[in-house]
Chains A and B, each alone.
Chain A
Amino acid sequence: MREIRAWFLRLGGLFHKERRDAELAAEIESHLQMHIEDNLRSGMSPEEARRHAVIKLGGIESTKEDYRDRRGLPLLETLMQDLRFGFRSLRKNPGFSAMVIVTLALGIGVNTAIFSAVYGVLLRPLPYQDGGRLVVPHQQATQAHVSNVLFSAPEIADYRENNHTLDAVVEYHSMDFLLLGNDSAERVKSGVVSANFFDVLRVRPLLGRTFVAGDDSPNADAVIVLSYNYWRRQGGDPNIVGKVFHMNDRTHTVIGVLAPIPQYPEENDIYVPISACPARSSAKVIGDRSMHMMTVFARMKSGVPLTTAQADLNTVASQIAQHNPEFYSKEDGYALAAAPLKQDLTRRAQSTLLVLLGAAGFVLLIACANVANLLLARLLRRERELAVRGALGASRSRLVRQLLTETTVLSLTGGALGLALTYPTLALLVRFAARFTTRANEVRVDPVVLLFTLSVSLASGMLFGFLPALSSSRQVSDALKQGSGQSTTSMGRQRLRAGLVLVQVAVSFILLIGAGLMIGSFIKLANVDPGFSPDRVLTLNLSPNYNRYRTDQQPKQMLALADNVLRSIRNTLASTLRR
């Protein structure tokens, strides 16, 4: 308590120095005068009286110095001094400073950008309550080396009814539908889901409600939930709930808008329950075990470990295979593997991102070695300055502290600039990562990332500052002895420089080899012969209304018609239509 009070007063002692100095001077002056008067009374001559008093006091200036040290916080004061001095000397060498700062900014910027991607995709928990309990089952034909067979409706029903470890099993697939408003027609990517899909993911609506039990029963009224982004694109009407659209020859009512959180497994414009999907609600899909078209998500019961759930699902899988041998042949090796949702969503991105992070780390290492070399060269020129300061009484630790303060100023400035570079880089990186995972949308610069940047900046400042500073502190006394002003490079320092260059070359080599291999694979990939000439060939996706194109014949007729139309519009355009 007393210490804290004293500390605050000492912090206050950093201000109003002139007034405090004047007060101390007055106090000491009054002390001296009283002493002199006493001495005069005891019979000394005026001169002797004064001399005696001053000697007794023991050095006015050193007394004042001790007093000042106690008044303020010497460590903080020297830090401020070093900072001011650091900034001044950086301004005096703009070329050197700019080079160091830009080098560091590149290194730190790249690392920050890639770390934010790694953190956003791989490390940050899913934005769902209890996201750790969400699992994704995959049907596999192990003998045929197929690891991800979609589910058919009967299979989903089997797993839902026969498991003992899952709270809920929900399904998902995506279709393109034509959404007709009063004066609009738009093709929308539609997620077709179980009624409790959003409850299982614990996604809350922004407006209205999400689906409730019964919304997916065969005779329920058709309802739509809009995604946040689609709703914004359509103007963000706050009274959208209750509006009516036409789709697949039915009237659909909007019942809600989702909150702006990332959608899994992929981004959709709208969501409908399975009863509103003409294909999914057809008797053919409901009854046919071989119509594999759905993805399945499940929430494990509270407290159930993944291994238990997996064993339970294995049992169900073997039952299914036993009861339907005509669908699951022994040779295929039917199995079911459940993976945590987070892992499943990021599996494809993981290795790429980690490789990138490693490469970025190497880049930063090169940058640090580079900067350390620059600093070393500059220290050579400052040898005299440091030697003189050492001779004037600056301790070795004091000199090292000053050098470290300077490098910290450099590295923090570099870090700040690097952070500015992060934003444009991040946009590129998010687009790249989006090819592997929908979590890319969650990548952003947040406090954790800022903390990372700060620590990386400080750590690299220490890294490239400490080596030269240490090597220099050993030299201080020698430099003066040499006296000629032409500092020679000592063995130790030569070794340090050689070591730095070695590190740079070695790490650059690793990066170059990695990059070379990647380019090699890319060239090979670009030269793969697809077996046809892709030049000037266009593809066209159509989403015909399932209700009207039910037989195999009807879509073919439509394609023939479309082909005719296209030919008549532009004879030169040869189009290939794919169903």
Chain B
Amino acid sequence: MSEKSEVWQGTLALMVLKTLETMGPLHGYGIARRIEQTSGDLLSVNYGTLYPSLLRLEQEGYIASEWGVSDNNRKAKFYRLTRAGRKQLGKEAREWGQTTEILARFLAPEEKLL
């Protein structure tokens, strides 16, 4: 596996879960576009990294997939959030909130000093 940092993997997974919660069942390309739109440049380099993340989430039971037909009549694999995924999303979102809050507080005085 390419050495993407754990943080990146976790971030991406959280974004996938959030996307599926907002948009409902969606195919990989749709998820990639959506994340690109909302997160700016983060995913723009490489859509491909999304697929191992999707597989991992599916193995962990947070999302489920099945083949369906897209808006423009193309066969595609659709992913949807499972009940466990919804719970996990809530939990991780809370944790991220806390982490960023702490880091923000931690980093703020430094910036003032500069």
Contact = CB atoms under 8 A, between A and B. Distances in A.
A289 B22 CA distance: 102
A151 to B, nearest CB: 75
A63 B2 CA distance: 10
Interface string A54-66: 0011111011001
Given A35-B47, A57-B47, A66-B1, 16 more contacts: A9-B59, A27-B28, A27-B76, A31-B47, A33-B74, A34-B72, A34-B76, A35-B29, A57-B48, A58-B48, A60-B48, A63-B52, A66-B2, A66-B52, A67-B52, A67-B55
Interface string A24-38: 101110110111010
Contact of B59 (A6, A30, A31): A6
B51 interface: yes
Interface string A64-79: 0011011100100000
Interface in A1-36: 2-3, 5-6, 9-10, 23-24, 26-28, 30-31, 33-35
Contact of A30 (B2, B32, B51, B76): B76
Interface of B: 1-2, 27-30, 32, 44-49, 51-52, 55-56, 59-61, 70, 72, 74-77
Contact of B51 (A2, A27, A37): A27
Interface string A341-369: 00000000000000000000000000000
Contacts of A35: 29, 47
Interface residues on A, range: 20 to 34
Contacts of B45: 58
A196 to B, nearest CB: 66
B1 A63 contact: no
Contacts of B55: 67, 70-71
A5 B60 contact: yes
B40 to A, nearest CB: 15
Nearest to A2: B60
A34 B48 contact: no
Given A6-B60, A27-B28, A70-B55, A62 B70 contact: no
A70 B46 CA distance: 17
Contacts of A56: 44, 46-47
A6 B56 contact: yes
Contacts, number: 84
A462 to B, nearest CB: 28
Given A34-B76, A57-B47, A58-B47, A70 B56 contact: yes
A62 B3 CA distance: 12
Contacts of A62: 2, 48
A384 to B, nearest CB: 30
B29 to A, nearest CB: 4
A57 B46 contact: yes
A69 B48 contact: no
17 contacts: A2-B60, A5-B61, A6-B56, A9-B59, A30-B74, A30-B77, A31-B29, A31-B76, A33-B74, A34-B29, A34-B72, A35-B29, A35-B47, A37-B72, A37-B74, A59-B48, A60-B48
A31 B56 contact: no
Nearest to B57: A6
A57 B70 CA distance: 19
Given A6-B60, A57-B46, A70 B27 contact: no
B53 to A, nearest CB: 8
B61 to A, nearest CB: 6
B75 A30 contact: yes
Contacts of A60: 48
Nearest to B62: A2
Contacts of A34: 27, 29-30, 70, 72, 74, 76
B75 to A, nearest CB: 6
Contacts of B60: 2-3, 5-6
Contact of A10 (B32, B59, B74): B59
B28 A69 contact: no
A58 B59 contact: no
A35 B60 CA distance: 28
Contacts of B51: 24, 27-28, 63, 66-67
B74 A69 contact: no
B48 A66 contact: yes
A70 B49 contact: no
Nearest to A31: B29
